[in-house]
Amino acid sequence: MSELVPGGNLPLPAGTVTVRVPGPFDVSALVTDDGGKVRGDADFVFYNQPSAPGARLAGDTLTVDPRRLRPGATRITVVVSPADPGTPLARLPAPVLQVTDAGGRPLARFTPPRPRQESVLLLAEIYRRGDRWKLRALGQGYADGLAGLARDFGVDVVDDTPTAAAPRPSLTAPGPTAPPAARTLTAPGAAPLPFRPPPAPSAATSAPTLPSPAPSSDAAAFLALVNAARGTAGSPPVALDPRLTEAARAHASAMASAGRLGVEGADGVSVFQRLTATGYAYLTVGEHLVSGPRNPTELVEYCLRAEQPRRTLYEPAFSHVGLSHATKGRSGDTYWTALWARPLTPDALARAAQEVVDLTNRERARAGLPALAVDPLLARAAQAYSTDMAARAFYSHTSPEGTQPWDRAAAAGSTRRSIGENIACGQRSPAEVVEGWMNSPGHRANILRPGFTHIGIGFAGGGPAGTYWTQLFGA
């Protein structure tokens, strides 16, 4: 294993590389081209947007597959900031970057010089040199937080001072723990634009279900094992669903064909998109993507050994499961996909939206602010936008047609003078998404903006990230 110093380089092996920064830090990454500039929101990976083509963040660990990066991407910069935005880096232990290969073998470690006044630190970059990929240790800091970082990586940051007479909206700079990918927007209302909302999510349990064939012996054995384990944890049993099994079969086959694990297959389709394609609309979803176990017993034993897989297996919110596996020809490696979900119904969607509102108002009450009232027109616009992001697989405050939050609110019939929006993707529950927003100064500012009086919530499952949330504010 190499101990790197600032400026030190390390050739990387082919395949995926994992970088981890344990401790009280938020890890994020920026995907850039040869000019060192991002192309847009999709080039940021952080806790509110944990994945991009070729990069996925899970807690303190970032996994990068250079072969899967977007076209033109030549560099991934790894960034750390304090998990508690009020704590300077100088008061925390020095962040230590740990680099491993696809098999978990340690490749390198880097401890930068101890930060002083810096509030954000560039730890390292994975970059392409010719047809090879390398890692370079950095240790560069920013005293002005992610706003300074954003400017250097090609994001325009301006002060947000909306007034009723302002002709155009402005972007609010994200605070010290939220990269610009999930920036918040606040602006006065604008003239309505043509608006054709996508269809509302279907209610999976209100429509006739598919005929249920007899489960395979593997699926039946898996179901018995997981329900026994869930029973010991006090979680209700789950039932096999043919749609989840169909999606699991398609994804396991895609992974076996490519010879690698991944939420997104070599065909560019995510496991979540495969599930929604079967007609199963979900309120919450989880997955196990595993290679190595030879049978369901070994798979369940693996899931119970590690914290995150065990948490998924025990999750009481899940009511359905599907399992399948596929074997890669010459190698004989077995790739398993287990999908867990709870169906989306109108009542369940309404309860989830109300829970986001309640959690938001709880945070406002703690700050001495009045509660926000639900506005059906803002809710309609928010729901349509979450559905659109999931259906068309994009993530941005700006739609592919160029519309902004205030355009969408006005087109839905809202006449409110000021509009703000928070979006997020990948979170599996109302509590998780509100916590993420509150840990991001830019999103937190919208939630705690004294002038806002009304709110609307949107949620949809699908797309590359699995879940898409919209919080639309008005005054």
Q: For residue 292, what pLDDT is reported?
A: 85
* Bridge partners (DSSP) listed for residue 170: 186
Please give the helix or strand (H or E) that residue 221 lies within, else none.
helix 217-232
DSSP state of 49: B
Residue 209 has pLDDT above 50, yes or no: no
- Range ranked top by mean pLDDT from 160-174, 178-192, 258-272: 258-272
**H/E segment holding residue 257:** helix 242-258
Q: What is the pLDDT of residue 23?
A: 83
> Which residues of 146-277 form beta strands (DSSP E)?
170-171, 185-188, 239-240
CA-to-CA distance for 94 and 363, rounded, in angstroms? 32
Q: Mean pLDDT, the chain, as a whole number? A: 82
pLDDT over 70 percentage in the chain: 83
The structure tokens 């939420």 sit at 263
- pLDDT value for 365: 97
The pLDDT of residue 189: 28
Share of the chain above pLDDT 90, in %: 47
With bands split at pLDDT 50, 70 and 90, how would you rate the model's confidence at 249?
Answer: very high
The residue among 228, 385, 225, 238 whose CA lies nearest residue 296 is: 225
In the numeric block, the tokens 């359905």 are attached to: 320
pLDDT in tens, 350-386: 999 999 999 999 999 999 999 999 999 999 999 999 9
Average pLDDT value for residue range 294-313: 91
Instruction: Measure the CA–CA gap between 406 and 169, rounded to whole angstroms.
Output: 9
Which residues, in sequence order, are CB contacts of 77 under 8 Å at separation 6+? Answer: 29, 30, 32, 122, 124, 125, 138, 153
Cβ contact 173:446 at 8 Å: no
Q: What is the pLDDT of residues 5-52, one digit of tens each?
A: 777 788 899 889 999 988 888 898 999 987 778 887 778 888 777 888
What confidence tens digit (pLDDT) does each residue in 224-240 have?
A: 999 999 999 999 999 99
**What distance in Å separates the CA atoms of residue 277 and residue 459, rounded to the nearest whole number?**
18
C-alpha R_g of the chain: 23
Q: What is the CB neighbour count within 10 angstroms for residue 136?
A: 18
pLDDT digits (tens, 9 = 90+) for 116-155: 777 788 889 999 988 889 998 888 777 656 666 666 676 5
The Cα 420–Cα 448 span in angstroms is 11
pLDDT band at 86 (very low <50, low <70, confident <90, very high): low
